[in-house]
Amino acid sequence: MKFIWNAPILIGISWLFIGAALLVSLKTLPPQIPLFYSLPTPSSQVVSIYYLAILPGIALLCVFLNSFVLKRVFQDNVFGQHIIDSANAAVIGITTYIFVRILLLIS
């Protein structure tokens, strides 16, 4: 059975959603956003809007790490391949949801 790896397709769709959400809310975004609510002082909670790129970067890093594990450990194991593919889909979906949710909250 041939295994089809869906992560590049999902990451592309995710980046389209992220780009569309960013374009829609770009005019209403403030120059600095409160992103790190767990920090004690309000001045340390506010960062530039470029910090929003952390979430898509984390998703991409996790997908690359999972693909490395897939090629090294689960190259002949179909069950392991499906687990890694499901983990990639979950990471991509969750980070996209969090990114869009943050944009909707601050704009």
Using pLDDT thresholds of 50, 70 and 90, give the confidence band for residue 95: very high
Q: What angle do CA 52, 88, 7 make, to 5 degrees?
A: 90
Look at residue 4 in the predicted model and tell me its pLDDT.
57
Using pLDDT thresholds of 50, 70 and 90, give the confidence band for residue 1: very low
What digits encode the pLDDT tens for the residues 55-89? 889 888 998 898 888 888 888 888 888 888 889 88
Question: Running DSSP on this structure, what letter comes out for residue 49?
Answer: G
Look at residue 5 in the predicted model and tell me its pLDDT.
63
Q: Residue 18: which residues within 8 A CB-CB, separation 6 or more? A: 56, 96, 99, 100
Residue 79's alpha-carbon distances to 34, 82, 84, 90, 96, in angstroms, are 42, 5, 9, 17, 26
What digits encode the pLDDT tens for the residues 28-63? 888 888 888 888 888 888 888 888 888 889 888 998
